[in-house]
């Protein structure tokens, strides 16, 4: 699933997101939910056509929608970060809020009214002026049409009224204080284009090109599971990008993307396996970037899929509804070994929900709370829960049925597969059977609740509100037939109460404390077990890219940023890039197992965006 806001298995689920380049033969981690065939290079943008400098980004995730109102996958929200302005952006050095479409803002003493000044120098790519009315229309549409709130509805759920008194003034009135008003990761769209749309649940914005936007790039073409093409917006207020074209090219096989990098056919690859990074590091024209990541890699258990109307659905194993069983499985999981053997040191051992990169929000359980690796304790918990070993060493319940479980795995993610093998071994010794279901499309069974466990992951934004919101009761689907914003069908009243308090808390220290309480509660429920925080392991050709900006600038990543800094700032190297095939200055970002053109990340949504189901950001 992808989730910017959807179960991206949930990925990548927004979000993000999270994408790992499949190692060894397949590639990527983020979560490509469906395959899609490589076009054999026929439509790639990595060629030097008459001197045109093309920046090609290799991606492994399918675009779920080019509609900002529907898109939840990391690759899709990354494209929207490039094509549309948001009210605010994140500083490339330390991610603090900086001007975007809004140049300044102020709030009333009671924090219930926010007034934004909209810049005068932002124009839509069709020549019309971008105004406060466009922003007001975007938010009002999300507030009044549920189909327009699919991807980013959590941001406007507390809005009472949004108006545009004049072209340069946007006023948002809230029902209660909201601490995310400088982190509204919502693409602002042109009213004169979108007001013509009828059904927002079906309009994917992929039929008429170029697509009107006001970001640093303009979307010019798109073919499912092949490519997304963009050109520089020459009138972008911050300045036009330096490459003549940006192409997100889809690769289903990670090794193929790496081979393309070595041949000079692409310039950037993301989500590298340790072996790939080591091999590429020997090439004098390739630089490997290994930086702290913004995503987590986790095990998610099915808590009993349900909808807001109270109905349950799916085929999740009933044993996992018992806290003791979930805790036993986690006690039988050795995170340290996974970091050492699977990630080979290119990750940090998992603890709380938010990665250590986000310093103040990073939380670790106390010694008496931590679910440490302890097979003996795991066995004792299962014994106490009534799941004892029979004569053949299998755990059986009181009904005499063996405790056999399933886990959803991304077929293109080598990390999923490798971790799955370790779990089969460890849990097998415990007497628990495990079937690893590696699928090209993990979204469908995830949304339907047809899983017992799943590999999950999200890219986290500087403001953690979004990745917290996907575990609230309000994120559940309205009915079993609907798709909600939930990550894993978790609905816990204590967690919801803390979420509401942190959303309304403006004091940073107090809000941080509440967020950590939420992480503690999520940890204690045992529905999720964060295994690791993977590094961002990437590589690019220095004979094709003269310079490019990481985020943060000091020891930061290139792919999956909270903004558009990497691709907007990229400068082509002099000459033809030394390509063996004529694809001179192509810059390719390989994410996961497939390659698609991508630029700065949008939140997860994310960047918003998940890694197991489909990372949203």
Helices (H), 112-236: 132-144, 153-156, 191-194
Higher-scoring residue by pLDDT: 529, 584: 529
Residue owning tokens 């095939």 = 581
Comparing 68-72, 343-347, 481-485, the range with the smallest average pLDDT is 481-485
Q: SS in 3 state form for 286-302? A: EEEEEECCCEEEEEEEC
Is pLDDT larger for residue 531 or for residue 249? 531
- pLDDT at residue number 490: 97
What pLDDT was estimated at residue 269? Answer: 87
Q: Which residues contact 610 (CB under 8 A, 6 or more apart)?
A: 1, 2, 3, 7, 8, 9, 10, 11, 12, 13, 14, 15, 16, 17, 18, 30, 31, 74, 456, 457, 458, 459, 487, 604, 616
Cα(590)–Cα(581) distance, integer angstroms: 18
260-274, 386-400, 429-443: lowest mean pLDDT where? 260-274
Helix axes 414-430, 375-384, angle to 10 degrees: 60
- Measure the CA–CA gap between 466 and 59, rounded to whole angstroms: 24
pLDDT greater at residue 37 or residue 494: 494
C-alpha 450/C-alpha 278 separation (Å) is 38
Whether the predicted pLDDT of 24 surpasses 50: no
Report the greatest alpha carbon distance in the chain: 78
The more confident residue out of 390 and 13 is 390
The total of other beta-carbon atoms located within 10 Å of residue 517's CB is 17
State pLDDT tens for residues 258-293: 998 999 888 898 888 899 999 999 999 999 999 999
606 pLDDT more than 70: no
Residue 521 CB-half CA count within 13 A: 19
Q: What is the residue-wise DSSP string for 1-36?
A: ---SSS-BBB----------PPPTTS--SS---S--
For residue 83, give the 3-state DSSP assignment. Answer: helix
For residue 508, give every residue at least 6 positions away whose Cβ sits within 8 Å of its Cβ, in sequence order, or none: 360
113 versus 256: which is more confidently predicted? Answer: 113
State the Cα–Cα distance between residues 134 and 145, nearest whole angstrom. 16
**Lookup: tokens for 3:** 């989730």
Which comes out higher in pLDDT, residue 146 or 5? 146
User: What are the tens digits of pLDDT across the range 531-574?
Assistant: 999 999 999 999 889 999 999 988 899 988 889 999 999 999 98
Strands (E) in 356-468, as ranges, are: 388-389, 395-396, 404-410, 433-439, 453-459
Q: Could you give the C-alpha distances from 279 to 22, 276, 325, 425, 555, in angstroms and in order?
A: 15, 5, 42, 30, 21
Please answer whether residues 358 and 463 qualify as being in contact, where contact means their C-beta atoms are separated by less than 8 angstroms: no
pLDDT at position 251, please? 82
pLDDT at 13 over 70: no
Average per-residue pLDDT for the chain: 85
Residue 47 has pLDDT above 60, yes or no: no
In angstroms, the CA 454 to CA 447 distance is 12
Long-range contacts of 191-194 (CB under 8 A, 24+ apart): 191/133, 191/134, 191/137, 191/138, 192/128, 193/124, 193/126, 194/137, 194/138, 194/141
**Residue 14, pLDDT above cutoff 50:** no
> In this predicted structure, what is the pLDDT of residue 62?
86
Asked whether the predicted pLDDT for residue 298 surpasses 90, the reply is yes
Helical pair 323-331 and 375-384, crossing angle rounded to 10 deg: 160
**Distance, CA of 19 to CA of 13 (rounded, Å):** 10
- Burial of residue 476 (number of CB atoms within 10 Å: 0-12, 13-18, 19+): buried
The predicted structure's pLDDT at residue 441: 86
The pLDDT, as a whole number, for residue 5 is 34
Q: Yes or no: say if 616 and 459 are a contact pair by the CB < 8 Å rule.
A: yes
Set out the domains of the chain in order of their start, with CATH numbers: 54-86+203-294+535-608 (3.40.190.10), 88-194 (3.90.76.10), 297-527 (3.10.105.10)
423 pLDDT more than 90: yes
Q: What is the pTM of this model?
A: 0.81
Whether the per-residue pLDDT at 52 is higher than 90: the answer is no
Residue 50 binned pLDDT confidence (cut-offs 50, 70, 90): low
Cβ neighbours for 121, distance < 8 A, ≥ 6 positions apart: 237
> pLDDT digit string (tens) for 212-221?
999 999 999 9
> Higher model confidence: residue 449 or residue 41?
449
pLDDT at 484: 83
Confidence of residue 61 (pLDDT cuts 50, 70, 90): confident
Contact 66, 219 (CB under 8 A): yes
- 133 or 18, greater pLDDT: 133
Q: Token digits for 51?
A: 């001197």
pLDDT band at 98 (very low <50, low <70, confident <90, very high): very high
Least confident among 400-414, 544-558, 581-595: 581-595
């Amino acid at each position: 699933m992808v989730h910017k806001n959807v179960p991206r298995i949930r990925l990548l689920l927004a979000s993000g997101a999270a994408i790992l380049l499949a190692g060894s033969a397949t590639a990527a981690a983020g979560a490509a939910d469906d395959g899609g065939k490589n076009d054999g290079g026929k439509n790639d943008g990595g060629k030097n056509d008459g001197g045109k400098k093309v920046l090609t980004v290799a991606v492994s995730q399918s675009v779920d929608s080019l509609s900002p109102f529907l898109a939840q996958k990391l690759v899709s929200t990354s494209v929207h970060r490039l094509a549309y302005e948001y009210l605010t952006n994140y500083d490339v050095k330390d991610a603090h809020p900086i001007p975007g479409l809004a140049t300044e803002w102020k709030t009333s003493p009671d924090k219930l009214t926010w007034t934004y000044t909209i810049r005068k120098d932002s124009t839509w790519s069709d020549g019309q002026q971008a105004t406060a009315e466009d922003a007001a229309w975007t938010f009002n549409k999300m507030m009044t049409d549920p189909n327009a709130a699919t991807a980013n509805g959590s941001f406007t759920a507390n809005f009472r009224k949004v108006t545009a008194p004049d072209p340069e003034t946007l006023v948002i009135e809230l029902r209660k204080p909201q601490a995310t008003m400088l982190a509204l990761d919502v693409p602002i769209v042109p009213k004169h284009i979108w007001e013509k749309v009828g059904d927002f649940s079906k309009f994917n914005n992929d039929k008429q090109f170029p697509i009107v936007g006001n970001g640093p790039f303009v979307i010019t073409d798109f073919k499912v599971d092949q490519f997304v093409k963009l050109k520089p917006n020459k009138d972008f207020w911050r300045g036009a990008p330096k490459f003549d074209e940006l192409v997100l090219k889809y690769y289903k096989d990670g090794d193929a993307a790496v081979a393309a990098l070595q041949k000079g056919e692409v310039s950037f690859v993301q989500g590298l396996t340790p072996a790939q990074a080591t091999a590429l590091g020997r090439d004098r024209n390739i630089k490997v970037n290994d930086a702290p990541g913004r995503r987590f890699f986790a095990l998610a258990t099915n808590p009993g899929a349900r909808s807001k109307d109270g109905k349950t659905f799916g085929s999740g194993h009933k044993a996992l509804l018992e806290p003791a069983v979930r805790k036993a499985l986690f006690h039988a999981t050795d995170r340290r070994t996974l970091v050492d053997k699977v990630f080979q040191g290119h990750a940090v051992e998992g603890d709380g929900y938010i990665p250590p990169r986000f310093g103040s929000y990073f939380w670790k359980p106390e010694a008496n709370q931590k679910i440490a690796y302890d097979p003996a304790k795991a066995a004792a918990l299962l014994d106490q829960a009534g799941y004892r070993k029979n004569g053949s060493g299998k755990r059986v319940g009181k009904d005499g049925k063996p405790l056999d479980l399933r886990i959803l795995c991304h077929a293109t993610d080598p990390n999923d597969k490798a971790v799955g093998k370790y779990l089969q071994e460890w849990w097998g010794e415990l007497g628990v059977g495990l079937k690893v279901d590696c699928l090209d499309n993990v979204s469908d069974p995830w949304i339907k609740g047809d899983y017992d466990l799943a590999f999950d992951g999200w890219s986290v934004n500087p403001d953690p509100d979004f990745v917290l919101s996907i575990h609230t009761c309000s994120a559940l689907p309205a009915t079993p037939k609907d798709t909600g914003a939930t990550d894993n069908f978790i609905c816990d009243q204590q967690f919801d109460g803390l979420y509401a308090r942190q959303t309304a808390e403006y004091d940073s220290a107090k809000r941080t404390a509440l967020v950590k309480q939420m992480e503690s509660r999520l940890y204690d429920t045992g529905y999720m077990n964060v295994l690791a925080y993977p590094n961002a392991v990437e590589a690019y050709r220095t004979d094709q890219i003269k310079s490019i900006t990481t985020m943060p600038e000091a020891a930061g990543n290139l792919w999956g940023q909270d903004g558009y800094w990497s691709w907007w700032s990229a400068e082509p190297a002099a000459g033809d890039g030394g390509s063996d095939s004529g694809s001179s200055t192509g810059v390719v970002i390989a994410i996961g197992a497939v390659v698609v053109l991508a630029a700065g990340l949008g939140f997860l949504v994310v960047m918003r965006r998940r890694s197991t189901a489909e990372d949203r950001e």
